[in-house]
Chains A and B, each alone.
Chain A
């Protein structure tokens, strides 16, 4: 039997359940105080203030060593925090990238000076990062990036253009993937990652409105921006390997199947009022969503538990993201059909609001962080087909 692609069950430790109750109590208070409105795809909503509150509670960078501002808690505890925040539709966008991937990357590849300089601020919810990978001509084919850094005395001179940079307008820094030596036969060689402070001279930023008219991502242009040697992350020329390991963190978390959960939650009350105790096809359809969600959660937990042990689970993470984001596309559509079949109003109340938001945001789900076609290519490689 294939030993690949198994997802052994991960049982949550008692401390994680204790944390869950603390997070729920916190969220109840925040909601009661009107500090946030539950949203579909709430990691696309940024509230620096909300992020600072999480920081004060010790819930940002919570798995990191104390000397870098962390709380040395397990990744399963972080998992529980994350799933509670997302299922409640809380605005976690401001710190999302820095907490999820910047911190772990600095821990793995950063210098001591970089860690001490940036991680405590991230953990306080005061320092936010953006991802500078995509470019106009480098989307799925990320190795095609053209942004270039040339050697100068004491550092690098950066020129080029990044797009789709989520929340760069709220961020303090960006980690930029760029070419530090010309393309050779091995297209993955010669790439490096630079940590760029976004108030450096020579940077221009322009909003790119998404289809809702919302300013979520940006175009960022670098024109002779000087980046000191101390801001090189990891090895010059080692950028590709670093980016690939970063993506494993990005791909298997609960944000890959919970983004539209609030739609399902808000469906249930009005639906029960409409169909009562009946066991008809609509009840079954709700159950089918629960079944898929519960299964994805077990898969994601399994990856989280093993990532903690240092396992390399690129393919498993790709499976979770492919299956999970396809479920994300399905959920609002199914919820709409169920509501319509039950004779519920589709455009009113909490459900109507969350559904509309989900329908408009869902197309991004199977694109961001690597498209599903690319993920399936990686899975096929894992199966030994290519």
Chain B
């Protein structure tokens, strides 16, 4: 990691610590858009960090972008950074400039049919311009809807806005051909979401460790009990596994020719991240006792996001099926060569 990236990550930590506060994250659950935080991200070159300089970005490479998303996840940042980057990258890929301000996307679906219909679970669909990809591979179209028609406002389990939109009835300001195929688009989203999950998992571990050191029962800190120690070691292993899988996928994606080259690495990362959620959140909650079940304690900002995010951009079932199909296709002889190509630069 370069010195300038290191600096960028430190800046991100500082901004999120100051502005992604408990109160701010709670206000998001009431539907409030965190304009102050978004402005701070823009002013510090973080909002567009992954985009080219020409678009006001920092031209960060994907590996560093993933590191930044981990920081955002660690702070439950109440802004759609990943969605904005996905939208921005799609526009840049299609040779377009960015309209300014935050963007969101209609969540990609590898099987997505022709444009456009109703889209469910669009993050911040009510308040941000929406970028959507439609058509079939080889003949994809990218559209930008400045103000999409909202059929129903909703929220994911974490209270993040997640709306149902009528794109067919919405006006679009841009309609261009796109070279992005559906699968790489989904994979890019999956990698970014996995990075946020890695950050949120790190935070669950940090909160749980701090809590068991502080909370006393039977005259001792909870941390003194072996049952608690063993559980936290299990939690730590899950956190570490997700972090490793995400880093490997980011590295493979960055050094492959395209995100598509790292499809299987990303499949591993998103599947592993989603698979970790059940036991990691169970342990984190269990050691927090009733306190962790309150609205007041911060733990739920992370666990609720993890329960939501594990379903985004493909569940573990989706990605494990992709990997299982590949394994069956290459067979017993081919599986090992397939596995050893993961994490290297030539695994297309």
B186 beta carbon closer than 8 Å to chain A: no
28 contacts between A and B (CB under 8 A): A1-B203, A2-B206, A9-B251, A9-B343, A11-B345, A88-B336, A264-B335, A269-B332, A272-B331, A284-B317, A284-B320, A286-B328, A287-B322, A287-B323, A288-B324, A291-B275, A291-B323, A295-B248, A298-B244, A298-B245, A298-B343, A319-B237, A322-B233, A323-B241, A376-B234, A377-B233, A385-B209, A386-B229
Q: Determine the chain B residues whose CB is within 8 A of the CB of A5 once the complex forms.
A: 236, 239-240, 243
- B residues apposed to A, CB below 8 Å: 13, 70-71, 74, 199, 202-203, 205-206, 209, 212-213, 223-224, 226, 228-230, 232-234, 236-237, 239-241, 243-245, 247-248, 250-251, 255, 267-268, 271-272, 275, 316-317, 319-329, 331-333, 335-336, 339-340, 342-345
Please give me the residue from chain B that is nearest to A292 by CB atom.
B272
Cβ-defined contact, B247 with A8, below 8 A: yes
- Evaluate whether A379 and B324 lie within 8 angstroms (CB atoms) in the complex, with A2-B202, A268-B335, A290-B268 already known: no
Complex Cα distance A293/B336, Å? Answer: 11
Q: Give complex CA distance A296, B272 in Å.
A: 11
Contact B328 A376 (CB under 8 A): no
Q: How many residues of A contact B (CB 8 A)?
A: 60
Which chain A positions have C-beta within 8 A of B209? 383-385
In the bound complex, how far is the Cα of B74 from the Cα of A271, in angstroms? Answer: 41
Known: A6-B243, A385-B212. A376 touches B319 (CB 8 A): no
Are the CB atoms of A288 and B320 closer together than 8 Å?
yes
Provide the main secondary structure of the chain A interface. Answer: helix
Instruction: Tell whether A265 is near chain B: CB-to-CB under 8 Å.
Output: yes
The reply to whether B321 and A279 contact each other, CB–CB distance below 8 Å, is yes
Distance (whole angstroms) from the CB of B331 to the closest CB of chain A? 5
Question: Complex Cα distance A231/B13, Å?
Answer: 54
Within 8 A of B (CB), among A327-386: 373, 375-377, 379-380, 382-386
In the complex, which residues of chain A have a beta carbon less than 8 angstroms from the beta carbon of B70? 1
Q: Do A83 and B233 touch (CB < 8 A)?
A: no
Q: Given the complex of chains A and B, what is the CA–CA distance between A373 and B213 in angstroms?
A: 20
**Does A230 touch B at the CB level, under 8 Å?**
no
CB distance A286 to B327 under 8 Å? yes
The proximity string for A residues 109-128 relative to B, scoring 1 for CB distances below 8 Å and 0 otherwise, is 00000000000000000000
Q: Is the CB of A2 within 8 A of B335?
A: no
CB–CB B229/A385 < 8 A: yes
| A contact residues vs B (CB 8 Å cutoff) | 1-2, 5-9, 11-12, 17, 20, 83, 87-88, 261, 264-269, 271-272, 275, 277, 279, 282-288, 290-299, 301-302, 316, 319, 322-323, 373, 375-377, 379-380, 382-386
Best-surrounded residue of B74, B226, B271, B275 (most CB of chain A within 10 A): B271
Minimum CB–CB distance from A368 to chain B (whole Å) comes to 19
Q: What residues of chain A lie closer than 8 Å to B319, measured between beta carbons?
A: 287, 291
Q: A322-B237, A385-B229 are in contact. List 10 more A-B contacts (CB 8 A).
A: A9-B250, A265-B335, A283-B328, A288-B324, A292-B275, A294-B245, A294-B268, A298-B247, A323-B240, A380-B223
Q: Across the interface, do B241 and A295 meet the contact criterion of CB distance under 8 Å?
A: yes
A89 to chain B, nearest CB (A): 11
Contact (A301, B343) CB under 8 Å given A290-B323, A319-B237: yes
Q: Are A287 and B324 in contact (CB under 8 A)?
A: yes
Cα–Cα, bound, A375→B230 (Å) = 9
Q: Which residue of A lies closest to B269 (CB)?
A: A295
Q: Count chain A CB atoms within 10 A of each CB in B202, B248, B268 and give the residue with the most.
A: B248
In angstroms, Cα B228 to Cα A283, docked, is 36
* Bound Cα distance A309, B202 (Å): 26
Contact A12 B226 (CB under 8 A): no
The smallest beta-carbon distance between A246 and chain B, in angstroms, is 22
**Bound CA span A290–B236, Å:** 21
